[in-house]
Structure 1
């Protein structure tokens, strides 16, 4: 069985099953194991003045280990590859979490705030309804790239070693890549390598979002909006999602009690949005998933 065939089956398996708690309540999820490894390395080696050098060395060892583990598991046949690829894709989990934000927002603003707090790191306690919807949709767009398209891309490019390396680096970036005093130096390598590994997938995700919603007529505007984002990659899927849904995303938000005056993406789009916009974003995620599945099947045939 070739790699595109395995990817197509993994996309289908993830979409059908998602993250069954009956399994992950009993054994640790591979992403959890990666997180534990990153946390241990942070505790052990993030000391002293040579933080950046230590961070580079630790990340290099962990990337090498992930690549070796992936190569060894690949030798066991297509079934372990299929199961691990399905586990490390996040389409079903992504749409379930985003859909929960829309459902909760229909119940009450408080429910919406609690639901979106599970998937974003910004302050949610003072959000109004449109801010809750925007935060959920932004998270959905960004994680479509990080959790579905990028893992699929690197699996196609480099097989299971590529997938494991990508997920390890992405996990490390989420844990130690923030520019805090503790991690500004030690997490530098994780943040920069994550930016590099996501450069193509982020733009590919934007192309897919735009492509499955009527073509690329708005690509110039998407590209301009993406450059407004503080991240070199996250702005691309967010800008594309904002354009195809006709809504404004990003804008001012609060982190750790401090308001950040970020610009709006697609500022002329609708600002007063609610659960219906979240539902539309969920449908967009499934459309992109369908396009990715179709692409994998085409590669499998040819």
Structure 2
């Protein structure tokens, strides 16, 4: 037992992962002081400079080049700095700490539950408007429930599960680069007319990075009650949702909780028709609490499984 503990300590990967989670849960970085806020600002400023062509192919090429221009120097610097730090484990700890975002999803859930419980549509719209690219000013209580549920599901999945997955594959650099690409996708969302097709390359890159961790997490969510029904719904409904990773997660949570997701969404005043997925019950404040509980318990299961895999892999190494 002592030798195994010494081996885990010497490698440090597990200690870094659990240490980053502990630090984040105790002392989360405020959004206004987070480096990713500056990253989004830089991305939007760059888009203003280069996303000026009305030609479809030129705009798409500009988006691809903008992605390369932003990410390439970041990756080079992150890789170059790692051998220079006193302890590589502390370097990974810092990058993973910057990449994780569990607390803000908890705070979002509490705010939405309080607002929907008191039928305060104005507050719910304001809270969601700070997190979404879509228009929230005209959302009804039904629309707020659906949008809130989708935001909570994707927030936990991308900012916790996918970050941890890419940390396990590529260390702190992989986790941080994934989060940077996710933030670029949010800044250049092609659902907004001014970023279509400028943001398509970034969305497709993120879709590839999301595919494996999100599908694994969706399987994790489906385990338990109604597993066969959830898997059947994924097989039937996933084909009508544009992104393969998010579709599995949204459908698995929707069917597990029997809540309705998807449907029309308005971006920059334009109504986008989306498929209706999940169950048939309109999400309410109660359902948002149930979703958070479901996701949290599945995250704990994911952490245990990933820790066991990492321990076995590093012990074998």
**TM-score band w.r.t. shorter chain:** 0.7 to 0.9
Q: How does 1:16-35 map to 2 (within 5 A)?
A: 16-19=26-29, 21=30, 25=32, 28-35=33-40
Structure with greater helix share of residues: 2
Structure 2 residue aligned with 1:106: 117
Equivalent pair of 2:254/2:277 in contact (CA under 8 Å) = yes
Match of residue 70, structure 2, among 62, 68, 81? 62
Counterpart Cα distance in 1 of 2:149 and 2:168: 27
Q: How does 1:207-246 map to 2 (within 5 A)?
A: 207-211=219-223, 213-214=224-225, 216-217=227-228, 218-246=230-258
**Count of matched residue pairs:** 294
For the residue of structure 2 that corresponds to 1:265, the secondary structure is: strand
Shift of 1:204: 2.1
Structure 2 residue aligned with 1:190: 202
Match of residue 296, structure 1, among 287, 306, 309? 306
The answer to which structure, 1 or 2, has the higher relative contact order (CA under 8 A, 6+ apart) is: 1
Q: Structure 2-normalised TM-score?
A: 0.82
For the residue of structure 1 that corresponds to 2:216, the secondary structure is: helix
Q: Which moved more, 1:180-189 or 1:237-246?
A: 180-189
Work out whether 1:81 is the aligned partner of 2:107.
no
Structure 1 residues 73 and 277: alpha-carbon distance in aligned structure 2, compared to 1, 3 A threshold: farther
For the residue of structure 1 that corresponds to 2:243, the secondary structure is: coil
Could you give the per-residue CA deviations for residues 109-133 of structure 1, whole angstroms, max 9, x where no partner exists? 3233333333333333343333322
Structure 1 residues 178 and 41: alpha-carbon distance in aligned structure 2, compared to 1, 3 A threshold: same
Shift of 1:185: 4.0
Counterpart Cα distance in 2 of 1:289 and 1:73: 31
For the residue of structure 1 that corresponds to 2:237, the secondary structure is: helix
Structure 1 residues 293 and 134: alpha-carbon distance in aligned structure 2, compared to 1, 3 A threshold: same
Structure 2 residue aligned with 1:14: 24
Structure 1 residues 172 and 197: alpha-carbon distance in aligned structure 2, compared to 1, 3 A threshold: same
Structure 1 residues 186 and 122: alpha-carbon distance in aligned structure 2, compared to 1, 3 A threshold: closer
Structure 1 residues 259 and 59: alpha-carbon distance in aligned structure 2, compared to 1, 3 A threshold: closer
Q: Which moved more, 1:200-209 or 1:249-258?
A: 249-258
For the residue of structure 1 that corresponds to 2:137, the secondary structure is: coil
Match of residue 38, structure 1, among 29, 34, 43? 43
Equivalent pair of 2:157/2:214 in contact (CA under 8 Å) = yes
Shift of 1:296: 3.2
Consecutive unaligned residues in structure 2, runs of 5 or more: 1-10, 313-317
Counterpart Cα distance in 2 of 1:184 and 1:237: 25
Equivalent pair of 1:69/1:161 in contact (CA under 8 Å) = no
RMSD of equivalent CA atoms: 2.5
Structure 1 residues 84 and 238: alpha-carbon distance in aligned structure 2, compared to 1, 3 A threshold: same
Counterpart Cα distance in 1 of 2:44 and 2:130: 21
Equivalent pair of 2:265/2:272 in contact (CA under 8 Å) = yes
Consecutive unaligned residues in structure 1, runs of 5 or more: none
Q: Which moved more, 1:135-144 or 1:2-11?
A: 2-11
Counterpart Cα distance in 2 of 1:182 and 1:45: 12
